[in-house]
Amino acid sequence: MKAVSLSSRNPKVYLYMIRTRIAPTPSGYLHLGNAFSFLLTALIARKEGGTILLRIDDIDAERTKQEYLTDIFESLEWLGIEWQEGPTGPDDFMQNWTQHKRLDLYQALLSQLREKQLLFACSCSRKKLESFKSTAYPGICENLNLPMEAADTAWRLKVPSDESITFQDRILGTVTFPLGQETGSFVVRKRDALPSYQLVSLADDTHFRINCVVRGEDLIPSTAMQLYMADQLNLTGFKRSEFYHHKLQRDESGQKLSKSAGAVSLQYMRTRGFGAEEVYTLFAEQFLNYSETRVTTFGQLETIFRST
Ligand SMILES: [Zn+2]
């Protein structure tokens, strides 16, 4: 991370310039869990004097819908979250910021991995993979030398079975993830020939010089995969990033909230007349252990966050 001297008279005072991102996917209405993650990101950026990029992950175009894209901007405005870089609205996004404009960037990373002979073609169907109990790829195609350019073929990055990734997390401390056992060789280019989320996210974070990644604990495997890939590609910026993996907002039955499970959406809350104060107050209770008063503004939430 780049340290910038605040004052030439006092070289001991440094300001670490945090560059973080809010990275929603326009494949469903945003829910409370998304709101909590974005609020935490915004609060960290404000506290550290950093900047926020709005990065909308639309590489999976089939799942992208205009109404979900619009919902992202309406939700962030409703939550009082501001960003300094990225699209100003859905039209600006489609014209200037869609991930489909950066396909060359992703392709370049895939080519590098391929030149280093770190990839292999995998023709396993989803059904076939689901028949294995282990979450890790069982290595079926690894030594078959299948043609890379065949139709319906994914590309996987080779991961040794004893590979383990350790990183420092600002919330969890030292995290060790047994990558070889948990994911094994993972997909970097999908069967539809588009780059995978893991590759796209790493490429974008590198491209936009992100040095602070705030995400849910469910994405620890992603962080481990991306750190491993960054190592292979010598992307030192990502490796030196600060990571915050926060706990997940759960429903009454203890399940994590998800769009597919029909979690209560922010859009539903807005149309029923709830204000963002509902979200601030719940966030303060669940993430900051604060329940003295209702939290009615983002500024009030910021004050509470700074004192924790
Ligand atoms: Zn395979």
Greater pLDDT, 250 or 225: 225
pLDDT score recorded for residue 135: 87
What DSSP line would sit under the chain, residue for residue?
--EEES-SS-TT-EEE--EEEE---SSS--BHHHHHHHHHHHHHHHHHT-EEEE-----SGGG--HHHHHHHHHHHHHHT---SBS-SSHHHIIIII-GGGGHHHHHHHHHHHHHTT-EEEE---HHHHHTSSSSS---TTTTT---TTSTT-EEEE---TT--EEEEETTTEEEEE-HHHHT-SEEEE-TTSSBPHHHHHHHHHHHTT--EEEEEGGGHHHHHHHHHHHHHHT-HHHHT-EEEEEPPPB-TTSPBP-TTTTPPBHHHHHHTT--HHHHHHHHHHHHH---SS---SHHHHHHHHHT-
Q: How many domains does the chain have?
A: 1
Do the domain assignments include residue 300? no
Do the domain assignments include residue 289? no
Do the domain assignments include residue 93? yes
Q: Give the predicted TM-score (pTM) of the model.
A: 0.91
How many A from CA of 178 to the centre of ligand 1? 21
Do the domain assignments include residue 95? yes
Do the domain assignments include residue 213? yes
Domain with residue 237: its CATH number is 3.40.50.620
How many A from CA of 126 to the centre of ligand 1? 10
Do the domain assignments include residue 293? no
Mean pLDDT on 275-291: 94
- Domain of 218? 18-274
Residues 124-139 have pLDDT tens digits of: 998 999 888 888 999 9
Indicate whether 257 pLDDT > 90.
Answer: no
Residues 148-197 have pLDDT tens digits of: 999 999 999 999 999 999 999 999 999 999 999 999 999 999 999 999 99
Q: Which residues surround ligand 1, an ion (CB under 5 A)?
A: 122, 124, 140-141
Do the domain assignments include residue 154? yes
Do the domain assignments include residue 171? yes
pLDDT score recorded for residue 176: 98
How many A from CA of 216 to the centre of ligand 1? 29
